[in-house]
Amino acid sequence: MSTGSETTAQARPRVLVIDDSPDVHRLLKARLKQEELEIVSSESGESGLEELKKSRPDLVLLDLDMPTMDGFEVLRAIKDNADTVHIPVIVLSGLANAEDKVAAFDLGAHDYIIKPFEFTELRVRIRAALRLNFLLRMLSQRAQIDGLTGLWNRAYFDRRVQDEVSRVQRHDGALSIAFFDADHFKSINDTFGHPAGDAVLQGLGQIIQRDSRQSDIACRYGGEEFVLIMPSTGPEDALAFCDRLRQNVEAVVWPRHPERKVTVSIGVAGASSVVGLSAAAWVEAADKCLYTAKKTGRNKVVVSDLRTGEKPAAEQPPLRKAG
Partner 1 sequence: MQTSGKVEPLRSCFAGDADMVELVQEFVQELPGRAQTLAQLMQAAQLDDLRRAAHQLKGAAGGYGFPTISESAGTLEKMLHGATQNQASELQARVNELVALCNRAVAA
Return the active site residues: 224
CB of 67 or CB of 258, closer to partner 1: 67
HSE-CB at 309 with a 13 A cutoff on CA atoms is: 1
CB of 1 or CB of 27, closer to partner 1: 27
Q: Which of 8, 14, 27, 38: binder of partner 1 (CB under 8 A)? A: 27
CB atoms within 10 A of CB 166: 12
**Cα–Cα nearest to 307, from 281, 181, 296:** 281
- Nearest-angstrom CA–CA distance, 91 and 7: 27
CB of 95 or CB of 155, closer to partner 1: 95
Q: Which of 12, 26, 56, 131: binder of partner 1 (CB under 8 A)? A: 26
Do residues 289 and 269 touch, judged by C-beta distance below 8 A? yes
Residues 45-74 vs partner 1: string with x where CB under 8 A?
--------------------x-x-------
Residues 139-198 close enough to bind partner 1 by CB under 8 A: none
Minimum Å distance from CB 24 to partner 1? 6
- Nearest-angstrom CA–CA distance, 201 and 226: 9
- Nearest-angstrom CA–CA distance, 303 and 287: 10
Residues 74-103 close enough to bind partner 1 by CB under 8 A: 94
CB of 29 or CB of 86, closer to partner 1: 29
Minimum Å distance from CB 65 to partner 1? 7
The answer to whether 20 contacts partner 1 (rule: CB under 8 A) is: yes
CB of 65 or CB of 158, closer to partner 1: 65
Q: Where are the alpha helices (H) located in the chain, listed in sequence order? A: 22-31, 45-55, 71-80, 98-106, 119-142, 154-171, 185-192, 194-211, 235-251, 279-295
- Nearest-angstrom CA–CA distance, 156 and 249: 25
The answer to whether 33 contacts partner 1 (rule: CB under 8 A) is: yes
The answer to whether 31 contacts partner 1 (rule: CB under 8 A) is: yes
**Cα–Cα nearest to 294, from 204, 215, 183, 187:** 183
Minimum Å distance from CB 116 to partner 1? 2
In angstroms, how far is CA 307 from the centroid of its own chain? 26
How many residues interact with partner 1 (rule CB under 8 A)?
15
The answer to whether 117 contacts partner 1 (rule: CB under 8 A) is: yes
Which residues lie near partner 1 (CB under 8 A)?
20-21, 23-24, 26-27, 30-31, 33, 65, 67, 94, 115-117
